[in-house]
Amino acid sequence: GQCVTHCPTGALRERDDTERVFEALADPDVVTIVQIAPSVRTAWGDQFGIEPDGDALGKLVSALRPMGFDYIVNTDFSADLTIMEEGTELLGHMEEESKKDAAARLPMFTSCCPGWVRFVKAHFPQLVDHVSTSKSPQQMFGALVKSYYAQMLGVDPHKVFSVSIMPCIAKKSEAALDSMRDACGDPDVDAVLTVREVTRMVREEHVNVQRLEPSDFDEPLGEGTGAGIIFGATGGVMEAALRTAHYLVSGSAPAGDAFSGVRGLAGRKEATFDLNGTPVRVAVVSGLANARQLCEDVLAGRATFDFVEVMACPGGCVGGGGQPIREGRESAGEKGGVLYRLDGAAKLRNSYENPSIVRCYEEFLGSPLSPLSERLLHTDHHAWSMPGEKDPCLV
């Protein structure tokens, strides 16, 4: 299939989940809640001539409403939540590592890309304990939809069908992991739709896309900051995490673009930033060949970092395997640029400033890494094993 060349993650064939979603939409007893990932805004309208600007996401919300989704929420919110958890985890990790001999120190790796998590488990199992335990924004949202949000809406979590719209094929296998379920065994996310699938659904439903006016997400889980938006581009998770880590250690907001040194399309970027007097050495890689090289360098002691962001797709999720394919055009740079422009223009640019995040911790979770946060928002990467199939990342 088409995705073989575009998807470096091991999901050879795209499983079609549109029928399952149509069934849930048609069932009056089911409450459908759909989340939309940050990079979707840059691509979903490609085939309809919709510009990937500030209105693109609002127009998708308007396209989905008449299709029968009961609640439409924004993965930017849970990207901010991921940053709260992962930024806090990073500070703890750095403290632990600082107690070791310099030569024995290892970085913390990001965990939001399932293509990468799968890769590290297969090829560098000795590094798995250094991968952040924070679930990806997709999975964190799913876990909250069936707990906090269901409570807020007064609906039975068992009646909730949780859907996500993603740039990514690997997100389907992430959602299907046994370790991504609640105490009753219900999956955090019931169905993952790629951008290609959602585009097909919009067509099948004969939504008049040209006439769409942007509309708002359902609040309070419709709100994200600039930091959440840039999750879709290589370097974005790193920059977002450093902004919040800066606040957590210093109590003050970082300067606007203090951590912009990790932007850009290079497959491997390295930088050292000052975090309240402590130097933080970071690396950002995208593409699994670059990830492999970096892991080898780290293990051989040729490179030392505190925090490493890895995305399997070159350029990050904007170039993901579930995005529409534009023949002969590599558009990850262009699409990443859209996200950075939206971040630059956002009223709130730091995850800890998101009022819905503040409220969620106050009303429900307590604090980052609280027992409830650990139970719902973190995972054990050892809790599942690799399926026996041959991994195309190996060839």
**Which residues are near ligand SF4 by CB under 6 A?**
9, 113-115, 167-168, 170-171, 311-313, 316-317, 320
Half-sphere exposure of 148 (CA within 13 A, CB side): 23
Closest CA to 152 of 23, 33, 25, 271: 33
Q: How far is CA 81 from CA 51, 111, 136, 309, 337, in A?
A: 28, 14, 10, 17, 23
Q: Which is nearer to ligand SF4, 45 or 336 (CB)?
A: 336
Q: At its nearest, how many Å lie between ligand SF4 and the CB of residue 43? A: 11
Q: Which is nearer to ligand SF4, 232 or 254 (CB)?
A: 232
Asked if 195 and 36 touch (Cβ cutoff 8 Å), the reply is no
Q: At its nearest, how many Å lie between ligand SF4 and the CB of residue 160? A: 24
Asked if 341 and 263 touch (Cβ cutoff 8 Å), the reply is no
Q: Which residue is nearest to ligand SF4 (CB)?
A: 320
Chain centre distance of CA 354: 17
Q: Which is nearer to ligand SF4, 71 or 141 (CB)?
A: 141
Q: At its nearest, how many Å lie between ligand SF4 and the CB of residue 291? A: 11
Task: Sort 156 into a burial class: Cβ within 10 Å, 0-12 / 13-18 / 19+.
Answer: exposed
Q: At its nearest, how many Å lie between ligand SF4 and the CB of residue 379? A: 15
Q: Which is nearer to ligand SF4, 75 or 162 (CB)?
A: 75
Q: Which is nearer to ligand SF4, 165 or 168 (CB)?
A: 168
Kindly report the backbone phi and psi dihedral angles of residue 272, in degrees, each rounded to the nearest multiple of 5, phi listed first.
-125, 130
Q: Which amino acid is at 91?
A: L
Q: Which is nearer to ligand SF4, 45 or 320 (CB)?
A: 320
Q: At its nearest, how many Å lie between ligand SF4 and the CB of residue 346? A: 21
User: Between the CA atoms of 76, 79, 84 and 89, what dihedral angle is there, to the nearest 10 degrees?
Assistant: -170
Q: At its nearest, how many Å lie between ligand SF4 and the CB of residue 280? A: 23
From CA 260, how far away is CA 281, in angstroms rounded?
A: 14
